[in-house]
Chains A and B, each alone.
Chain A
Amino acid sequence: AQSVTQLDSQVPVFEEAPVELRCNYSSSVSVYLFWYVQYPNQGLQLLLKYLSGSTLVESINGFEAEFNKSQTSFHLRKPSVHISDTAEYFCAVSDGSSASKIIFGSGTRLSIRP
């Protein structure tokens, strides 16, 4: 069965500093990978996804993630964070060879300090 490990439960950074949220997944023949963001008292919003093709995927608000098959990783990065990026971030994986359930990691709380 697929699984996702988010290595950091909390990541505190200063505003305008770079950040990396780490994610590793269990290997499978084919995978779809996702990052979701959850703001307080809200549902999850899709931030970006890797389905196929270019291993570097980007979101509209400056986040990017790189699919690394050899290291089974899908780390999320942003070169300069804003206070508004404060949220919980979830890495998720789906096994594209079967039905489409998505398995989530335990989440990383990103807190931005002014």
Chain B
Amino acid sequence: DAGVTQSPTHLIKTRGQQVTLRCSPKSGHDTVSWYQQALGQGPQFIFQYYEEEERQRGNFPDRFSGHQFPNYSSELNVNALLLGDSALYLCASSFGTGFFMAGYTFGSGTRLTVV
């Protein structure tokens, strides 16, 4: 049973460029959340997708956007990259929202380096 799959594993981009990161949730999961983890820090919540809609959003600018597809997979897009966007981007999947949520399953992340 595949867990959460993220691609690519590593990525180097130049300031001002745009990037798309991809995530396939664990089988049976329908909710995808994205986190940014800067070096030496805890993961910061970016947003969450459920039923192809953004349900919650953390304190991130509009340069960060996402999408969820009918098969529950998800993309994270970042426009106009800044050096400060360099981080490990983690995707986490779960089943349902609210009361029925019981923890996330995380992927191994995409390491984004902006130069």
- The interface on chain A, measured as residues whose beta carbon lies within 8 A of the other chain's beta carbons, has a size of 25
Task: Pick from A60-68, A77-85, A94-102 the stretch touching chain B.
Answer: A94-102
CB distance from A96 to the nearest CB of B (A): 6
- The interface on chain B, measured as residues whose beta carbon lies within 8 A of the other chain's beta carbons, has a size of 31
Which A residues are CB-close (under 8 A) to B103? 32, 34, 46, 49, 102
B45 adjacent to A103 (CB under 8 Å):
yes
Task: Pick from B11-19, B79-87, B105-113 the stretch touching chain A.
Answer: B105-113
CB distance from B88 to the nearest CB of A (A): 8
Query: B101 in the interface, Cβ–Cβ < 8 Å?
Result: yes
B98 adjacent to A107 (CB under 8 Å):
no
B55 adjacent to A99 (CB under 8 Å):
yes
The answer, among A36, A43, A99, for a CB contact under 8 Å with B107, is: A43
Report, nearest first, the 3 A-B pairs whose CB atoms are least far apart: A100-B101, A43-B106, A104-B42
